[in-house]
Chain A
Amino acid sequence: MKKLKVIAAMSGGVDSAVAAARAVDAGYEVVGVHLALSSNPQKYRSGARGCCTIEDSHDARRAADVIGIPFYIWDMAEEFHKGVVENFLSEYQSGRTPNPCLRCNEKIKFEAVLDRAKALGFDGVVTGHYAITKDGPDGKTLHRAADPEKDQSYVLAVLRTDQIEGAIFPLGDTVKTDTRKEAKERGLFVANKPDSHDICFVPSGDNAGWLRERLGSETGDIVDQAGTKLGEHKGAYTYTIGQRRGLNLTVPDKSGEPRYVLKIEPKSNTVVVGTHEDLAINTIIATPPTWCGPAPELNKELRGFAQVRAHGAPLATKYKFDGTNLIADLDSPVFGLATGQALVIYDGDRVVGSATICETI
């Protein structure tokens, strides 16, 4: 049988290096590719860990050499800027809180890269994500990883069935500590490289500063739900729903209760605050949905688990799809949920589908 040919997306970190090595062991013909996500590699970020530095591309190349596979750099700067960075800015401008890692998986790794790989005659893309795919009667399905601490099925839930068909996740059954151990055994010097946590294109994790630089810092009012002014803000989009610190309110609450950001209204440039109780959300409405498998029956109420943050707990829920929106009625409320984040529905450990949260009640 002819060997299957795959592209291993190599960030320069430990996970993607071990994933590439495992793909070689599994009998694939592997070509390593590092994605250059900024046309000027120092533009988005310098020094620290991320996906865009010269150091990372060097680390990825070194890992490919140790594994013994060819290695290339693919310039995806334009696609990344359009599909991820611009989307990130416009979402904030609209008062939502986007998840750029999810967009990157959707638009870059499993669209731009996968499409290019297929055109060049490759069969799929290998990444170091922690998630599991299984063959089902209707094609491949996406599942949670064995390591709940590292599970990344949430940020992959945006993938369509055809994208999952082309995805290979060799680390799904492994816990992170074992990945590091294996990297060491394989002689991959990235074994002890720290995990990336921040947004890769925002330098030193200063999200608010980065946004202020690009979107301006027009001051506006911080108000309560009745519209009474309680203070001033420096750029509405630098706040996150559920945020408590750094509000600098000039009017204290009568009962001395702490106040939280409830809503960001970009049109009036106001930030609305309230009590912790006011943050409670029972119903989540999200659109447009992507199904990792067959779409659920229209308007049929089903039971499953909702996840609303990258490392959030699964929340027991009823859900249904009304043809436009995916609606989740949670069994117990969740506090401080931002629109723009993804609602992912699970059936046990299987990803049913996802959609972007547009309204919370």
Chain B
Amino acid sequence: MVDSAVAALTKQIKKLGNASSLHSAGRSVRKDLEAAREELAEAAGCAASEIIFTSTGTEANNLAIKGLFWKGAKANRKVIITSTFEHHAVMDPIVWLAEHEGAQIVGINVDRKGFVDLIELKAAVEKYQDQIALISIMHSNNEVGSLQDIAQVVKIAGDIPVHSDCVQSFGKVDLSFKKLGLTAATISAHKIGGPLGVAALILKKGLDIEPILHGGGQERDLRSGTFNAPGIVAFAAAATDAVANKKERDKKIRQLKEELISTIKKNISDIWVNGDLENCLPGIVSITFPKTDSEGLLLLLDAEGIACSTGSACSAGVQRPSHVLLAMGLSEDETTSTLRFSLSYTNTINEIARLGAVIASVVARSKAASGKK
């Protein structure tokens, strides 16, 4: 966690007042919380009243998608347009709505570089028009880092509500809720050096949707539950820190990324990078090592003190081919030969050199163990 967030959290955690209480302890926490809301709004380019605090990005996505769908469904709008490579926290609530609430899913394809096909989106919007409840397209993809043209998506959508999962992008690239013209956006603290367990849905002013949680009526009656004040003030501090240092960190991380890719290429000639190197998040690098098995790569790299990740795993922990990479046109074998490296401004050139020293032998072993031909 960044220092300013740790400081904010440790200071706030001593204050026990419930922000919804009217006594002085409650009012004092309320004051801190509302100041944090304003600070976060400044960082996200939205009005303070548009922020609804939740406990996770998944919860914020569920609230936005289900809420906007139920609102649309009342006017017989039951189509949900989304991309084929959303995070599970978007994809799964949409699939749930299709299975339980009669939603009709229209999936927009993505290209090999990881960009949503906007021509296809336009055609879908024209085809379904007033049957569409919402469009949900991520701001940037969590596995390959490709940045989507959300302003263009909003333009194509016209009056149709657009939600965007901005968890990966917020604090990393320029992002203004107001400028993008979104109806709803999801952001989360843990991706920007804030604490785990706090996130927010930014929802356009005045918009009334169905809540998922019912209770005390906090957050515009949309998200009942006692406020996590320490988490919220730390979230705001981390957001301010991320936005203030964004430019400088972006430059450093992109240099590290270049070094990482060239180091790996120097050692293994047949690798490729998934996604786009221009229009992308600074820190995410998805690399396919043909004929290897990413489980083996991960195990061997971890033993060398290098942390990276494979695609997704089922609830028992069995690796599954990444739906993101499959959507981008990779074969099943290629998806299970792919690793994601996440770089931060705290990484160093020396760490990349350490990866360079072991990657050739790690890949050779993984190839021998994979049985892929």
Contacts and interface: CB of A to CB of B under 8 A. Distances in A.
B303 interface: yes
Contacts of A41: 314-316, 318
A298 interface: no
B318 A120 contact: no
B227 to A, nearest CB: 32
Interface of B: 295-296, 298-300, 302-303, 313-319, 365-366, 368-369
A116 B315 CA distance: 23
A-B pairs with lowest CB-CB distance, top 5: A119-B369, A73-B317, A119-B368, A41-B316, A36-B318
Interface of A: 31, 34, 36, 39, 41, 53-54, 57, 61, 70, 72-75, 77, 115-116, 119-121
A39 B369 CA distance: 19
Q: Interface of chain A, helix or strand or loop or mixed?
A: mixed
Contact residues of B: prevailing secondary structure: helix
B317 A70 contact: no
B300 A34 contact: no
B296 A120 contact: yes
A57 B318 CA distance: 10
A55 to B, nearest CB: 9
Contact of A116 (B303, B316, B369): B369
Contacts of A61: 317
B316 A73 contact: yes
Contact of B302 (A57, A70, A75, A77): A70
B365 A119 contact: yes
Contacts of B299: 31, 70, 72, 120
A36 B369 contact: no
A57 B316 contact: yes
> Which of B302, B313, B318, B319 has the most chain A CB atoms closer than 10 A to its own CB?
B318
A290 B372 CA distance: 29
A116 B369 CA distance: 5
A73 B313 CA distance: 10
A34 B316 CA distance: 10
B295 A74 contact: yes
Given A36-B318, A73-B313, 19 more contacts: A34-B317, A36-B316, A36-B317, A41-B314, A41-B315, A41-B316, A41-B318, A57-B316, A70-B299, A115-B369, A119-B365, A119-B368, A119-B369, A120-B296, A120-B299, A120-B300, A120-B366, A120-B369, A121-B300
20 contacts: A31-B303, A36-B318, A39-B318, A41-B314, A41-B315, A57-B317, A72-B298, A73-B313, A73-B317, A73-B319, A75-B295, A75-B319, A77-B318, A116-B296, A116-B369, A119-B296, A119-B365, A120-B296, A120-B300, A120-B368
Nearest to B317: A73
B338 to A, nearest CB: 16
A184 to B, nearest CB: 26
Most chain B CB neighbours (cut-off 10 Å) among A34, A41, A121: A121
A41 B319 CA distance: 12
A34 B318 CA distance: 10
A232 to B, nearest CB: 42
A213 B373 CA distance: 36
A77 B302 CA distance: 24
Nearest to A72: B299
Contacts of B296: 116, 119-120
Contacts of B316: 36, 41, 53-54, 57, 73
A186 B363 CA distance: 36
